[in-house]
Structure 1
Amino acid sequence: MLSAFVLSQGRLIQIPIESAADLARPEVFWVDLVDPTDAERDLVESVFRYELPEDEDLEDIEESARCYVDHAGLHLNSYFLHQDSEGAANVTVSFLLNRGRLLTMRQEELAVFRLFRLRARVQPGFVENAEDVLLGIYAVAVEYDADVLEGVYTKLESVSARVLKGGDALNDEGMAETVSDIAQQEDINGKVRLDLMDTRRSLSFLLRSRSLNHEQETDLREILRDLESLNNHTAFLFDKINFLMDAVMGLINLAQSKIIKIFSIASVVFLPPTVIASTYGMNFQMMPELNWELGYPFAIALMILSGIAPYWFFKRKGWL
């Protein structure tokens, strides 16, 4: 999908693109590509005089080539977080800033871009040029990451309450669900941290490029400070995740220990009756109880008492 934007009364407005002339209009300062077709790629390449990367190339960009400047302009390739029903993923977005025009390209639509377009459309003066669009997208991305981290913290709080409450959470199904929830939040937190680190690198490069005015550089430094605070928060969440995982593993070990404890006590309880039964099962001729009329009931009673005695002792000690 190909989208082009202009300013109208200080608001961001999308215009229809039917030809290269529409795209080359001087008032068009932002061109956005989402999983473009071959025809859309050819159209943009003819106007920007820049060969767009293929989808697989966009995902396999080398670390050393994520931020650079060449004849086409300033290039930034950054991770942006994408969440759906299947989980979270980092999607690479390619930015090209050249002569007051911004070209963005990605493989799928992102919530960050939708939110930015909404704000720029309803708030007059939210953006004034291509550099404002670039900074605005990164600012919204940081806010989006903050919201995701808040969601991770809320989910971990519910997991903590479930673990502390016990009950059904301590059975096999509850434990499996709890471990799965913790692992999922760890995965999301890790992707947010990678997103933040990559964004900080891109913004630092943008700051060094001297492509912004003084006010925009001030805004960029504010974004970097927000990034730093969010990075610290991800570290806190990792500590919380590790604590919860250790707590759950401890509960699992306790549950397994109780099972082993039951088997151990059962073996001790049945050991004396087994000894008595083995003794009277030897059938020696000189055993006086063999000819005793009450010998059989006596042996049964003795085995029962010898089994009850250890059980009573363990119960009194509080081991059961």
Structure 2
Amino acid sequence: MLNVFTLASGRLFQEEIESAQALAHVQPVWVDLESPTPEEKGWITARFGLTIPDNIVDDDLEESARFYEDDAGDLHIRSDFLVHDDDTARNVRVAFILREKLLFSIHAEDLPVFRLLRLRARRTPALIDDAKDVLLKLYDADAEYSADSLEGIYDALEKVSQRVLQSEVNDQTAAEVLAAIARQEDLNGRIRRNVMDTRRAVSFMMRSRMLGAEQFEEARQILRDLDSLDSHTAFLFDKINFLMDATVGFININQNKIIKLFSVASVALLPPTLIASIYGMNFNAMPELQWRFGYPYAIALMVSSVIAPFWYFRRKGWL
């Protein structure tokens, strides 16, 4: 899919391009390619003279290839953007190419940050002045999206805390809690990675001296926002570890209760086992062989030998 965005009075106007002729009649400030076809890449090459490699958004690029300026003066930036829905979280690679007053973005799927910027740019006048503003606003929206995801983790962990700390935790509850904690830990880790990657990209833009005075100050504000998110991710990691330890502790307590029950039972059954083994010998010298109530007496002795240890353990508080 090929979308171009033209700028008028600080507002972005989106137009989906379906032919080379339609692309030839627009003067965009931002060209967005979502899973572009070879034909659409050919339109870009013919119109702007830019060749887009097939592996431009591959995850196996070297670190040195993520931020650089080529011989033609074009800035190349590869950034990871967070995508979070109800079940999964992932980081999607986006390639940016900034050529003079035109920004190209290439990615494999539509991203929430891009949708958020398009919505804001249509509603807010004088939000964007040029292609560099588009890139900065994308990173600003990415920081906000990460902050919103962190708030979601806070809410999810609050529910987990209520289940762990305010109710009895059985094995089924513990399994559900551990699964929920694992999901939030994965999301928190991806947010931390996304924040780190965004910080690197904004720092690269500042070092490249491509920004004006106002844009440079905006970039510094984005970095401050990203720094504030680090403390939240660190706190959430500590909270996740605490809940994980607490849940595992309840699992160990439940297991210890089972082992304790078997230990007490085995100790309590030792006396009747001894009595049964003695009476099972059937020696002639044992008077119970000629006694009419011999075996009922032996059974009663075995039962009483079981009751006495359990009574003693209960009195000691071991049961």
After TM superposition, the score normalised by the length of structure 2 is 0.95
Cα distance, 1:240 vs structure 2 = 0.9
**Deviates further, 9-18 or 84-93:** 9-18
Identify the residue that residue 93 of structure 1 maps to in structure 2: 94
Deviations 1:74-124 (A, max 9, x none): 111000001235401100011111111111110000011001100000000
Partner of 1:159: 160
Alignment of 1:55-134 (within 5 A): 55=55, 57-70=57-70, 71=72, 73-134=74-135
In structure 2, the residue matched to 1:234 is 233
Q: Partners in 1 of 2:232 and 2:190 — Cα distance?
A: 13
Shift of 1:248: 0.8
Residue pairs, 1:33-52, within 5 angstroms: 33-52=33-52
1:17 shift after superposition: 3.1
Query: Match for residue 214 of structure 1?
Result: 213
The one-letter code of the counterpart of 1:61 is L
Question: For each residue in 1:203-254, what CA deviation from the matched residue of structure 2 results, as whole angstroms up to 9, or x when unmatched?
Answer: 1111000000011000000100111111221111111111111111111111
Asked if the contact 1:10/1:125 (under 8 Å) is kept, the reply is: yes
Structure 1 residue identity aligned to 2:138: I
Q: CA deviation at 1:57?
A: 4.9
Percent sequence identity is 55
**Distance in 1 (alpha carbons) for counterparts of 2:242 and 2:5:** 48
Q: 1:108 is paired with a residue of what secondary structure?
A: coil
Whichever residue aligns with residue 95 of structure 2, its letter is: S
Aligned to 2:6: 6
Deviations 1:144-174 (A, max 9, x none): 000001101111111111011233xx22222
Q: 1:122 to 1:90 in 2, by over 3 A?
A: same
- Corresponding residue SS for 1:285: coil
Q: Which runs of 5+ in 1 are unaligned?
A: none
CA distance in 2, matches of 1:258, 1:173: 16
Q: Aligned runs of 1:169-208 on 2, under 5 Å?
A: 170-208=169-207
SS in 1 for 2:61: coil
1:268 is aligned to 267
Spell out structure 1 runs of 4+ moving beyond 4 A: 18-22
Q: How many residues align?
A: 318
Distance between the aligned counterparts of 1:86 and 1:48, measured in 2? 40
Q: Does residue 315 of structure 1 match 2:317?
A: no
SS of residue matched to 1:58: coil
Instruction: Give 1:301's aligned residue.
Output: 300
Whether the 8 Å CA contact 1:50–1:72 is kept in 2: the answer is: no
SS in structure 2 opposite 1:220? helix
Q: Which amino acid aligns with 1:288?
A: P
Task: Please state how far the C-alpha of 1:24 moved relative to its aligned partner.
Answer: 5.2
The secondary structure found in structure 1 opposite 2:17 is: coil
Asked whether the 8 Å contact 1:273–1:303 carries over to 2, the reply is yes
Write the distance in 2 (CA, Å) between the matches of 1:277 and 1:23. Answer: 96
Structure 2 segments unaligned to the other structure (5+ residues) = none
Q: Distance in 1 between matches of 2:156 and 2:215?
A: 36
Residue 18 (structure 1) shift = 5.0
What CA distance in whole angstroms lies between the structure 1 residues aligned with 2:73 and 2:105? 14
> 1:113-143 CA distances to partner (integer Å, 9 max, x unpaired)?
0011000000001111111100000000000
| Alpha-carbon distance in 1 for matches of 2:248, 2:16 | 57
Q: 1:208 to 1:12 in 2, by over 3 A?
A: same
Q: Report the AA paired with residue 174 of structure 1.
A: T
State the match for 1:30 in structure 2.
Answer: 30
Contact 1:30 1:103 in 2 (8 A): yes
Does the 8 Å contact 1:11/1:120 carry over to 2?
yes
Q: Residue in 1 aligned with 2:246?
A: 247
**Maintained 8 Å contact 2:57/2:95:** no
1:132 and 1:24 mapped to 2: Cα distance? 24
